[in-house]
Amino acid sequence: MDSWLRSRAAVRVRRGLVRRTEPQAGLIDLASNDYLGLAGDPRLAAAAARATDEHGTGARASRVVCGTTGAHQGLERALCRLTGQDAALAFSSGYTANLGVLTALGGPGTLFIYDAHVHASLLDGIRLSRSEAVEVPHNDLAAVATALAARGQPRAVVVLESIYSVLGDAAPLAEAAALCAEFDALLLVDEAHGIGVAGDGRGAVHAAGLAGTRHVAVTATLSKALGSQGGAVLGSTLLREHLVNTARTFIFDTALAPAAAAAAAEAAGIVLAEPELAHRVLRNAQVLALACGTEPSAGAVQSIPVGSPERAATVTAALRAAGVAVGCFRPPSVPDGVSRVRLTARANLTDAELRRAAASVNRALESGLQEVPA
Ligand SMILES: Cc1ncc(COP(=O)(O)O)c(C=O)c1O
């Protein structure tokens, strides 16, 4: 095994594609998902400290054993208030929320129809469920309709993201929901990049008037705009009850730490009370896109195609050296095989930071950086 691991590592080094896990302090942050700047907000820290005092640092057990605390219940109520959904169930991450809901809804008799650009956690959940599945081209509702009309399975779930994580574009949610209603299917929308950003912060599903409707359910992360850690599934009380009893990543996983639950609940309240935060992140995303000569996207993510993985790594390194952290997206993290640098706007970036960052991005892209030979 060791010699194989060494040979894989050597290939990554030769191609300049080594992923790193060092802290990145002192850079202008266009890489994190802290869209509203709430991860550093003292109100979240105070809520986390209160929950730790009251409940301890760890949840101690699965939610279905004795891991449920008032912090978890408060979080689920706060998420329902924010998104307008009837019920919420908190998971220990967005990843486990997606695995949990997809495996609990899947299996024999369920067909998953999923967009080609959905996140790895959704793909993994579909695979783990051992259901029949059809991939449809990105945002192609005609292909969704064809798959729904041709299905032989009694149940179907259409899986989309409200704002896609790599390209930052939006899904046609209202039309997708209408199709699901017509064919008696469930639309499952991952709002990881929508909540806190779209629809005054209440998410794209709420903005489309779909919150609380029978054919639509939502998954969310608490680790991006909500500045904490964890995930959730939002939908009907019937769905929540099914997940509590069947979702393996809920039942066989220690509950979210009370501090994370309380911080996310505090954030959900702030997002609801201060819609200007969501407006600000979209405004900053637009400023950044225009300054970098790209088309503004639907959300906080601006994605700039740069071609090869090596060039993405080189541009990212040049920007780090210039004091700007950006996301480096390359296979297998890019659905269409096109490597990109990803810029994420945040509500708390100043205009001076946006100008400085955009100038650095433009310089890095224009500096004729040569591709690293494979
Ligand atoms: C679309 C999408 N879904 C789910 C996740 C997973 O969320 P978490 O980081 O909370 O596990 C992410 C995170 O990158 C994401 O972008």
pLDDT tens, position by position, 110-127: 999 999 999 999 999 999
| Structure tokens given for 99 | 């695995």
Rounded CA-CA distance 44/264 in Å is 7
Rounded CA-CA distance 204/212 in Å is 13
Q: In this structure, which residue's CA is closest to atom 3 in ligand 1?
A: 192
Distance 120 CA to ligand 1 centre (A): 8
Do the strands 155-161 and 87-91 form a parallel or antiparallel pair, or are they unpaired?
A: unpaired
- Written as one letter, the residue type at 249 is T
Pocket test for ligand 1, best of 34, 197, 223, 303 (most atoms within 8 A of CB): 223
pLDDT in tens, 211-223: 999 999 999 999 9
Distance 233 CA to ligand 1 centre (A): 13
Least confident of 30-34, 327-331, 351-355: 327-331
Which residues lie below 8 Å from residue 139, measured CB to CB, with a gap of 6+?
A: 115, 169, 171, 172
CA–chain centroid gap for 354, Å, is 23
Q: In this structure, which residue's CA is closest to atom 9 in ligand 1?
A: 94
pLDDT band at 20 (very low <50, low <70, confident <90, very high): confident
Query: How many C-beta atoms surround the C-beta of residue 348 within 10 A?
Result: 17
Which residues lie below 8 Å from residue 90, measured CB to CB, with a gap of 6+?
A: 63, 72, 75, 76, 79, 222, 230, 231, 232, 255, 256, 261
Distance 300 CA to ligand 1 centre (A): 15
Token pair 């591709």 is found at 371
Least confident of 17-26, 225-234, 333-342: 17-26
Distance 230 CA to ligand 1 centre (A): 10
Pocket test for ligand 1, best of 35, 92, 114, 119 (most atoms within 8 A of CB): 119
CA distances from 140 to 133, 182, 185, 336 (A): 16, 17, 17, 15
Pocket test for ligand 1, best of 93, 95, 205 (most atoms within 8 A of CB): 95
Token pair 């046609």 is found at 172
The predicted pLDDT at position 253 comes to 98
Cis peptide before 332 (omega within 30 of 0): yes
Provide the b/e sequence for 178-207 (b: ≥16 CB within 10 Å).
Answer: ebbeebebbbbbbbbbbbbbbbbbbbbbbb
Q: Which of 102, 119, 69, 128 is nearest to 261 (CA)?
A: 69
Give the pocket of ligand 1 (CB within 6 Å): 93-95, 98, 119, 121, 161, 165, 190, 192, 221, 223, 231
| Structure tokens given for 193 | 């990049």
118 CA: nearest ligand 1 atom: 1
Q: Which of 57, 91, 60 is nearest to 258 (CA)?
A: 57
Sheet hosting strand 301-307, strand order edge to edge:
28-30, 324-329, 339-344, 301-307
Query: How many C-beta atoms surround the C-beta of residue 364 within 10 A?
Result: 22
Q: Please, where are the H alpha helices in the chain?
A: 2-14, 42-55, 70-83, 94-105, 120-128, 141-150, 173-182, 204-207, 237-246, 248-251, 258-273, 276-291, 309-321, 351-366
Question: For the residues 73-86, what does the mean pLDDT come to?
Answer: 98
pLDDT in tens, 174-192: 999 999 999 999 999 999 9
Q: How big is the CA angle at 217 (ends 214 and 222), to the nearest 5 degrees? A: 150
Q: How big is the CA angle at 62 (ends 259 and 121), to the nearest 5 degrees? A: 80
Q: Which of 244, 273, 263, 237 is nearest to 74 (CA)?
A: 263
Pocket test for ligand 1, best of 99, 163, 165, 169 (most atoms within 8 A of CB): 165
Better-predicted residue by pLDDT, 115 or 19? 115
Residue-range domains of the chain with CATH? 23-38+275-366 (3.90.1150.10), 42-273 (3.40.640.10)
The predicted pLDDT at position 308 comes to 87
Q: Which residues pair with 95 in a beta bridge?
A: none
222 CA: nearest ligand 1 atom: 10
Distance 11 CA to ligand 1 centre (A): 28
